[in-house]
């Protein structure tokens, strides 16, 4: 029997980025073993890598847009498939930036974007997945969640908003929920944007140093940094318990913004290419319609 490669060895191996960044099902996760400033899977070459990364991301734009159009077109003929990108990460890891730079490569009319904030009074009166189910993409669409159902096992765990026993049950509920999504034609791409403690400080300081960015800063951000170890543990548990065959997690190093955008774009491209949506065949006589148009 072939020896199973350790996680670090697999992350260095060549192959599709989705295999390189995927969190193996059933394995313990230690975020300290992941290099937040790394560029796994990006072709090596002469510096500067950032320039090459920006160019490579731009080049994917046309292919992504074409696949999106085919996905939407297929839905008009009854194809129920759609894609859901879930973005999670610590503050400043780039969830909003990913939406801006990566989803900007798509036609916005075919995207359904939702940023989940603290639950409203109405949402707290329902099971935690209720508000998530309301925002799922329709057939043919690409959905993007800026935060998601995982907040209910992350901040809820760190801030002790519900008993630990309830948190433990939620992992299973999430897995069952995501399995039903996959069975209904939803390709779930869950991305953890992995930023380092030091890089987060640099980004928060930049916000303080720029008056035009003060609106993005909150004194709570400083308080949350004090809970960094607890959040890292909460993320490790979520990645470990909820990386499944139906909906695996991908860890994307996020200290380099250009790499983050390239990697998420590449993951989306690989998943859409695997879906290989097709334009539906005409349900009318093309030659006859052409003849009628030319006669008028």
> pLDDT above 70 covers what percent of the chain?
95
**What pLDDT score was predicted for residue 14?**
58
**What pLDDT score was predicted for residue 128?**
97
Sorting pLDDT into bands at 50, 70 and 90, what band is 50? very high
* 3-state DSSP percent of the chain in helix, strand and coil, to 5: 55, 10, 35
pLDDT over threshold 70, residue 13: no
**What pLDDT score was predicted for residue 202?**
97
Q: Which of 275, 26, 20, 19 is nearest to 175 (CA)?
A: 26
Q: Where are the alpha helices (DSSP H) in 140-215?
A: 151-158, 164-183, 197-209
**What pLDDT score was predicted for residue 184?**
97
d(CA 194, CA 95): 11
Higher per-residue pLDDT: 6 or 25: 25
Write the DSSP symbol of residue 278. -
pLDDT over threshold 90, residue 8: no
| pLDDT 10s digits, 60-92 | 999 999 999 999 999 999 999 999 999 999 999
Share the mean pLDDT of the chain: 93
Q: Which of 250, 265, 262 is nearest to 11 (CA)?
A: 250
């Amino acid at each position: 029997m072939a020896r199973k490669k350790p996680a670090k060895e697999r992350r260095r191996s060549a192959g599709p980025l989705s295999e390189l960044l995927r969190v193996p099902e059933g394995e313990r996760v230690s975020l300290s073993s992941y290099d937040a400033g790394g560029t796994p899977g990006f072709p090596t070459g002469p510096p500067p890598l950032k320039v090459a990364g920006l160019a490579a991301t731009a080049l994917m734009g046309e292919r992504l847009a074409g696949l999106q159009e085919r996905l939407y077109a297929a839905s008009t003929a009854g194809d129920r498939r759609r894609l859901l990108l879930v973005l999670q990460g610590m503050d400043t890891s780039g969830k909003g930036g990913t939406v801006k730079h990566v989803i900007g490569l798509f036609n916005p009319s075919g995207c359904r974007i939702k940023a989940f904030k603290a639950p409203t009074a109405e949402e707290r009166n329902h099971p935690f997945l209720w508000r998530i189910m309301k925002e799922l993409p329709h057939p043919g669409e690409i959905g993007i969640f800026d935060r998601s159902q995982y907040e209910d096992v992350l901040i809820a765990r760190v801030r002790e908003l519900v008993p630990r026993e309830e948190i433990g049950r939620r992992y299973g509920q999430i897995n069952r929920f995501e399995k039903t999504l996959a069975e209904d034609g939803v390709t779930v791409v869950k991305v953890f944007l992995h930023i380092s403690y030091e890089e987060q400080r640099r980004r928060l300081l930049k916000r303080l140093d720029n008056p035009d960015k003060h609106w993005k800063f909150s004194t709570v951000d400083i308080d949350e940094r004090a809970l960094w170890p607890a959040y890292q543990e909460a993320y490790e548990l979520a990645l470990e318990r909820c990386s499944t065959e139906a909906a695996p997690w991908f860890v994307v190093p996020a200290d380099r913004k250009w790499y983050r955008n390239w990697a998420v774009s590449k993951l989306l491209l690989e998943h859409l290419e695997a879906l290989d949506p097709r334009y539906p065949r005409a349900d009318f006589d093309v030659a006859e319609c052409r003849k009628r148009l030319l006669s008028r």
